[in-house]
Structure 1
Amino acid sequence: MREIIFDTETTGLDSRDDRVIELGGVELVNRFPTGKTFHHYINPQGRAINAEAQAVHGISAADLQGKPTFAEIAEEWLKFTDGAKLIAHNATFDIGFLNVELGRLGHPPVDNGVVVDTLALARRKHPMGPNSLDALCRRYGIDNTRRTKHGALLDSELLAEVYIELIGGKQAALILDNAGGAAQGGENVRQIEIVIPERPAPLLPRLSEAERAAHAAMVATLGEKALWLKLNPQEPADATAAQS
């Protein structure tokens, strides 16, 4: 499964009039980064950058002089994302801008069926919020100290880590490769091991001593043929101790 985590920076908030000025993405295959990335600063062709937007991403008109237009990078982007799911935080915003830019060039809009919005995932998983990218990085212990300004590639890299946590974390997985030799039923099986660190301190017991004693006393009344005693052969000793 191939996924592209991506982000845009723009001249403002109105996709009908504003333009994309930075586009970045990172590739995941089977939920693991491949190291392949996409990144371009984009000349907005005379469109001024809104002051509030510039305060967020720090990109000025001078920074974009000599950079390619969206038309010049569009085919590279379409090739990079071909066949992949597109993952973005507040995806409606980014997809809206991409669709307008692609529409100007005669390309069809992005199929909503391949789009995943991590903001929607976060709101379902953490309904009390907050669910900004920075807040999610703090929640999951992801280092975002480099993020002094918004940036399309850096934000995509951070979002890739957040996305993995939102869908269940870095769990061990089996990857089946049909193209190789036969291992099991004609497929290669490659085990990927994820080392999960030990908890620094054990969790406190959830049962009090009084609750344990009450349970042991109840088990003692079940008789020798009780199913519980067959499954827990140590119970008789506990029950006797609890009654003495």
Structure 2
Amino acid sequence: MSHIGTSLAERFRGYFPVVIDVETAGFNAQTDAILEIAAVTLRINADGLMEPQTIFHEHVAPFEGANIEKAAIEFNGIDPFCALRGAIDEASVFKELCKHVRKAQKEADCQRSVIVAHNATFDQSFVNAALARHNIKRTPFHPFVSFDTTTLAALCLGQTVLVKACEAAQIEFKQSEAHSALYDTQKTAELFCWMVNRYQALGGWPLPAPSNDEIDTDQK
């Protein structure tokens, strides 16, 4: 069952969902470098289904004085100082990210963007730290609201690990591509769309209009 009349703004109370993943040089958002970031914006298509729309992706040069944990870069396989990465300074990356998201948010007639991520607290903390570090005021992102696909996947699929959740939803996931911000963001976006669309197909959205009895009760 599709409901073609639902807009993105109507679906999330004016919030514009933006799927984000960061690859970092540690777990401390205040001190550790962001090395890569990707963002996928979403839309509702002509069939009333949510799908990925635009992609933003950049390799990020460590900010001055950033901490780099050896274990972190061994895990994600990123050499922070490799010239072939084509890394851009952090301030420029986040200014461009905000510009990209603001444009898509405006086109969707939404008022604020909300970060969608797998274990969203982690990615949101790094995004917020970078925005504060460079005193970027024109940010489209809500400072603390987020949509966590880990929680949603636990509810919808009984899985919390990204690859396991994708497998349960029959979304192809190549483990060899994991821990790339671009690949993980694209897969998280697919998973989020699958869960939203699945909930709609099962009749969970839109909510039924209140009956006259319910309206009368509310007014008493």
Alignment partner for residue 160 of structure 1, among 183, 189, 194? 189
1:52 and 2:71 matched: yes
Q: Secondary structure at the match of 1:158?
A: helix
CA deviations over 1:189-208 (Å, ceiling 9, x no partner): xxxxxxxxxxxxxxxxxxxx
Which amino acid in the other structure matches residue 122 of structure 1? A
For residues 160 and 26 of structure 1, the distance between their equivalents in structure 2, rounded to whole angstroms, comes to 7
Alignment partner for residue 30 of structure 2, among 16, 25, 34? 16
Alignment partner for residue 58 of structure 2, among 28, 31, 40? 40
Q: Which has the higher contact order (CA 8 A, sep 6+)?
A: 2
For the 8 Å contact 1:9–1:22, the answer to whether it is kept is yes
Q: Which runs of 5+ in 2 are unaligned?
A: 1-7, 9-15, 45-49, 106-112, 202-220
1:6 and 2:37 matched: no
For residues 171 and 66 of structure 1, the distance between their equivalents in structure 2, rounded to whole angstroms, comes to 41
After superposition, residues 137-216 of structure 1 pair within 5 angstroms as 137-145=166-174, 147-169=176-198
Alignment partner for residue 101 of structure 1, among 115, 126, 130? 130
For the 8 Å contact 1:56–1:149, the answer to whether it is kept is no
1:74 and 2:94 matched: yes
For the 8 Å contact 2:128–2:143, the answer to whether it is kept is no
CA deviations over 1:154-207 (Å, ceiling 9, x no partner): 1111111111222243978xxxxxxxxxxxxxxxxxxxxxxxxxxxxxxxxxxx
For residues 12 and 105 of structure 1, the distance between their equivalents in structure 2, rounded to whole angstroms, comes to 19
Residue matched to 1:117: 148
Q: TM-score, normalised by structure 2?
A: 0.68
Which amino acid in the other structure matches residue 163 of structure 1? F
CA deviations over 1:22-57 (Å, ceiling 9, x no partner): 0101121122222x2100000003535322212332
- Residue identity over aligned pairs, in percent, reads 28
For the 8 Å contact 2:39–2:56, the answer to whether it is kept is yes
For the 8 Å contact 1:58–1:149, the answer to whether it is kept is no
For residues 171 and 120 of structure 1, the distance between their equivalents in structure 2, rounded to whole angstroms, comes to 18
1:87 and 2:106 matched: no
Q: TM-score, normalised by structure 1?
A: 0.62
For the 8 Å contact 2:52–2:190, the answer to whether it is kept is no
Q: Secondary structure at the match of 2:198?
A: coil
For residues 97 and 155 of structure 2, the distance between their equivalents in structure 1, rounded to whole angstroms, comes to 30
Alignment partner for residue 41 of structure 2, among 14, 17, 27? 27
Paired positions, count: 169
For residues 97 and 88 of structure 1, the distance between their equivalents in structure 2, rounded to whole angstroms, comes to 12
Q: Give the structure with higher Rg (CA).
A: 1
How far is 1:119 from its partner? 1.2
Q: Secondary structure at the match of 1:61?
A: coil
How far is 1:112 from its partner? 4.4
How far is 1:66 from its partner? 5.4
For residues 86 and 192 of structure 2, the distance between their equivalents in structure 1, rounded to whole angstroms, comes to 34
Q: Which runs of 5+ in 1 are unaligned?
A: 173-244
For residues 58 and 26 of structure 2, the distance between their equivalents in structure 1, rounded to whole angstroms, comes to 18
For the 8 Å contact 2:33–2:62, the answer to whether it is kept is yes
